[in-house]
Chains A and B, each alone.
Chain A
Amino acid sequence: MISDARATGCAVRPARPADYPAIARLTVAAYAADGQLGGEHGYERVLADVAGRAAHGEVLAAVDGASGAILGSVTYVRPGGPYAEVSRPGEGEFRMLAVDPAAQGRGVGEALVQACLARAAAGGCTAVVICARSFSAPAHRLYARLGFVRAPELDWSPAPGVELVGLRLALPAAP
């Protein structure tokens, strides 16, 4: 599925191993810029392990239509696999959505989420569920704009100071 390149100037395609170093860098940079990497529980090494998550899901890359530069990435996780954390059977899930801080505000994140929604719909999922850090205003704005609603039953606090907010987007039933 290729997103609408006219709207965002970017296209979404499956990531290739040659993309992994750039995806690792921009993912860590985006989470750091959002204030998500402070505190005692590091996440940098996991975020940088693109090959590791590629084994358990589909890593997507958003690519600048003109320069070919990698602008962002997301992982559409395999249902029931180790990277699936909030989804149940019949639900889609994505993780590690990140847009290069220098490319934010262009619709890159939306294009990546739309690519995940398309995959979930194609896979017959009834909904897509995710969780986001409570304080991440840009993430919550993006997800609300796309129609995600709060799913309090998915809220979780795995450690003091780490508040995770569950979100759900119901997908229309297949005709």
Chain B
Amino acid sequence: MADEIRAEMVANVWKVVAAAGDSVEEGDTLVILESMKMEIPVLAESDGTVVELAVNEGDVVQEGDLIATIE
């Protein structure tokens, strides 16, 4: 089952840590957002493989935007 990870707030994509094809475990950092005086790691919510990493460093994500898909 695909697990879509979406942005919970408007933020700047500061670092992309994972890549499509990576195996990840629940709790692994996928990307790091920065916004409003905080660094916000976006974590894998399940074990699996990153099938899509939908953002690049320097992108601005809006609340609800897809960040990654894990299967």
Contacts and interface: CB of A to CB of B under 8 A. Distances in A.
A55 B36 contact: no
B34 to A, nearest CB: 4
A13 B47 CA distance: 49
User: How big is the A interface, by class?
Assistant: 20 to 34
Contacts, number: 44
Contacts of A159: 38
B10 interface: yes
Contacts of B14: 46, 49, 52
A52 B37 CA distance: 15
Given A41-B40, A131-B37, 18 more contacts: A36-B37, A42-B38, A43-B34, A43-B37, A43-B39, A45-B39, A46-B39, A55-B58, A56-B58, A82-B12, A85-B36, A131-B36, A133-B37, A158-B9, A158-B38, A162-B38, A164-B36, A164-B37
Interface of B: 9-10, 12-14, 32, 34-40, 58-60
28 contacts: A36-B37, A41-B38, A41-B40, A42-B39, A43-B37, A43-B38, A43-B39, A45-B39, A46-B14, A52-B14, A82-B12, A82-B58, A82-B59, A83-B12, A85-B10, A85-B12, A85-B35, A85-B36, A131-B36, A131-B37, A133-B37, A156-B36, A158-B36, A162-B36, A162-B37, A162-B38, A164-B36, A164-B37
